[in-house]
Structure 1
Amino acid sequence: MNCYASIKDAAGFLSSSNYGRRFGDDAFMICDLSEAVLLLQQWMEFMPRIRPFYAMKAGPHPPLVKVLQLEGAGIDCASQKEIDTTLEMGTKPEDIIYSNPNKQISHLLHAKEKNITLTVYDGADELKKIHAHYPDARLLLRLHASGESRSGAMNDRFGANLPRARLLIKLSKELGMNTIGISFHVGSPCLDPSRYHQVIKEAREMFDFAATLGMKFEMLNIGGGFEGSLSSTDRFKQIAVSINQALDELFDENQFPKLRIISEPGRYFCDRTFTLLTNIIAKRENETNVDYTINDGVCGSYARVPFAGTEYDKFEVYPLRDDAASVRKRSRLYGPTCAGFDIVKGETFLPNLEIGDWLIWPECGSYTFAMATSFNSLWTDVFYNISTKENRGKLDRNSQQNIDFVCEDSVTTIKRIHCSTTLAFSGGI
């Protein structure tokens, strides 16, 4: 059974059985593939000129990669392993961008072997490295995204400013390399719609500069930074309007009829596609609060907790079976490891719960299991791939068939050996 009335119904059914899990109280993830398809359709409705390439680093879940590429999205990879995972899911090489500005030579050679031609650079040494090992690659020059960003470290590390970008374009021409366009990333999440307009304007300057050297750019990559949570839908639409206006103003279709515009959304496709279910494995009552220990923590799916605490990055939690009349108590939630810092929530209010009760964590997909470690050999390793009836009713028959095809392998297991992660299908419901 892969189609449920709702996520909560799926959570209730799956938590009552240990099918696909070693023990019935093991934590697990639910991946609603129909949600991901609706998000892709929303994207194409609001930004029809831009083809999304799913940044799988946000959530390297093979069924999600599979269904998105079946629905027409490309895939953004940053390593050999990610390249192999998406190729195994049937993605064509021409639908992959190797979008890491700092590539290991062996990984670059692997991309060459697999005929993945599109990649990026932001410095002279990287350009020379590509020239030495993969001279036939098609290249995008990554610009520094000027302005304030919540991901300032990304801006400090990646991208060339405009003076340096001009020098790199000249060097690319001198080396005979095939630089075909511009790439940038404003940081994630982007809460200011105007930031895209500014960097798109700078990208246009580089298109014009390249033209003075006889180079005809044909691709623009506007990167990521897009949110996918329900609460951010209005902001996503506002950002889409700003981007469309900038493209119409600076890259008019009549002037650039052959321009390909792509993007690299990651969390956009992950946030509300995944729901985490954790089990309460220990309880301790104090004078002022109740301490609960659950079987996932900051060394696992909550690895981004140290970076949370803002209005856009909080994990919400609800008891799966909630007595609305029960008095809420001040509570703390700890992860399962022996680390003192394994605190998932330092304060929340929950009804009186018992060992064995389940907690449901909606919108728990982006940068969660992707960042998990194998510390104490405790991690969430089982994913159930489903669709919900409400979402399914909004999809055409072709999309329904794509989801059904992927859901034939309805249980995905993550296996970690030491600190490495391999992904494989197993079983079916």
Structure 2
Amino acid sequence: MGSITRNLQGVLLGAPGVTGKRVTTLPKTGLTDFMRSVISKEKETKEPFYVLDLGVVSALFDKWTRTLPMVCPFYAVKCNPEPALLGSLAALGSNFDCASQAEIELVLSLGVSPDRIIYANPCKPGSHIKYAASVGVNLTTFDSKEELDKIQKWHPKCALLIRIKALDDSIARCPLGSKYGALPEEVTPLLEAAQTARLNVVGVSFHIGSGATYSQAYEGAIASTKSVFEAAVRLGMPRMTILNIGGGFTAGSLFDEAATTIKPALQAYFPNEPGLTIISEPGRFFAESPFTLATNVIGKRVRGELREYWINDGISGSLNCILNDHATITCTPLACNSNSANPTCKGERSYSSTVFGPTCDALDTVLTGHQLPELQVDDWLVFPNMGAYTAAAGSSFNGFNTAAILTYLSYSNLS
């Protein structure tokens, strides 16, 4: 096991986006000490920062390949486009789901072959379609006649997946069915339109919603794809060869629940499908837990028993996930300045606390009624599981530039 871990670590240290950067090897419980070392080195600036643990990325990829070996992951770049994460996943064997020209450019810049990319946006600007054609990205999705018209004009040799609406995505953290996916009665007309345009529809895709919590939704969606495969056969189209089961995966018990639904559903509806390739578009599964965010306490106010703190990242920055991704966040104190003898404040009295972000917007409220020990200005709050739809969707409102937040790389030995 030790040699396997060392080999994987070597692969990741040489990955595009990682090679040439400092990666600190940590013991299993060494994250807090590492963050304190970063803080001590950056004590003048006190800017927020991320720690990306490549050991966690490696463990997640191993978990995926052991649990769903028949499903090839195409990491959803929009979730977190940090180059070190993308390069690590590429080195481990992941492919990529890109939603724009810029995302395709980023993945290609890391040395990834265009045949490892799916342009998984059912509605694309014409100029982006032209770009995909020019660089050899030859697989994309559609769910309307108008999209077929654009593809016929700008990339007629592209292989297509018809995106269908999942029957039940209402329980997902971020449902997508109101925006994307052909309805059952639209499928046959769309396939006929593709036939008429001499476009090559090679498979079906769906998405049960980002942050899905109802794993049984996969079963219904996979059943629906079978009917689309059969409709194509009835129309005399070439047999479809790709089934894209989309995203919605979260690491932990929810992933195990999803797998226990997906595997029997695939066996039930596609037991002997010749030459079938099954792919998926996981984002948060790979991105969420490897990232930890550290923020500095820049202000404080005491009102009786209430403690109010201001930190230097917030709702307009990394913590936009509270609004945009309906995330439930947690934080722990790191009192590097006021209490160096007990930096995690274990055993100390706690107070009902409000945590604000740094902007002048009252909406920029990160936590209310949260129990925290007595902190002082220049202490720190640390937020775990902050890699999914965080920095990727942050802004520079009020001049607090989310894109400028640094990411430090570590590799934890989790065995």
- TM-score, shorter chain, exceeding 0.5: yes
**Which residue pairs with 2:370 in the alignment?**
348
Counterparts of residues 52-91 of structure 1 (less than 5 Å):
52-91=73-112
Q: Which runs of 4+ in 1 moved over 4 A?
A: none
Displacement after TM superposition at 1:289 (Å): 0.5
TM-score by length of 1: 0.86
Structure 2, gaps ≥5 residues long: 1-22, 335-342
Q: Percent identity?
A: 34
Residue type of the alignment partner of 2:390: T
Residue type of the alignment partner of 1:90: G
**In structure 1, the residue corresponding to 2:320 is in which secondary structure?**
coil
**Which residue pairs with 1:361 in the alignment?**
383
Counterparts of residues 199-278 of structure 1 (less than 5 Å):
199-215=221-237, 216-228=239-251, 233-252=252-271, 255-278=272-295
**Which residue pairs with 2:34 in the alignment?**
10
Change (3 A) 1:246 1:153: closer
CA contact (8 A) 1:15 1:24 kept: no
Residue type of the alignment partner of 1:179: V
Change (3 A) 1:96 1:295: same
**1:35-59 per-position Cα deviation (integer Å, ceiling 9, x unaligned):** 1121111011111100000001111
* RMSD (Å) for aligned C-alpha atoms: 1.4
Structure 1, gaps ≥5 residues long: 395-429
**Which residue pairs with 1:315 in the alignment?**
329
**In structure 1, the residue corresponding to 2:129 is in which secondary structure?**
helix
**Which residue pairs with 2:411 in the alignment?**
387
| Residue 302 (str. 1) matches residue 325 (str. 2) | no
**Which residue pairs with 2:135 in the alignment?**
114
Counterparts of 2:332 and 2:360 in 1: how far apart (Å)? 25
CA contact (8 A) 1:308 1:314 kept: no
**Which residue pairs with 2:347 in the alignment?**
325
Displacement after TM superposition at 1:13 (Å): 1.5
Counterparts of 2:93 and 2:325 in 1: how far apart (Å)? 33
4-13 vs 366-375, which deviates more?
Answer: 4-13
**Which residue pairs with 2:14 in the alignment?**
none
Residue type of the alignment partner of 1:96: I
CA contact (8 A) 1:77 1:96 kept: yes
**1:243-284 per-position Cα deviation (integer Å, ceiling 9, x unaligned):** 0000011111xx223111000001111110100000101111
339-348 vs 216-225, which deviates more?
Answer: 339-348
**1:373-397 per-position Cα deviation (integer Å, ceiling 9, x unaligned):** 0101113420112211x23xx4xxx
Residue type of the alignment partner of 1:237: D
Displacement after TM superposition at 1:307 (Å): 4.8
| Residue 335 (str. 1) matches residue 352 (str. 2) | no
Displacement after TM superposition at 1:18 (Å): 1.8
Residue type of the alignment partner of 2:153: A
**In structure 1, the residue corresponding to 2:296 is in which secondary structure?**
strand
Counterparts of 1:307 and 1:81 in 2: how far apart (Å)? 21
Counterparts of 1:150 and 1:306 in 2: how far apart (Å)? 17
CA contact (8 A) 1:336 1:342 kept: yes
**1:314-356 per-position Cα deviation (integer Å, ceiling 9, x unaligned):** 1110012222221001110000111121101122010011111
Counterparts of 2:63 and 2:112 in 1: how far apart (Å)? 22
Query: For 1:183, which of 205, 212, 218 is the aligned residue?
Result: 205
CA contact (8 A) 1:225 1:265 kept: yes
TM-score by length of 2: 0.89
Counterparts of 1:385 and 1:379 in 2: how far apart (Å)? 20
CA contact (8 A) 1:76 1:99 kept: yes
CA contact (8 A) 1:301 1:379 kept: no
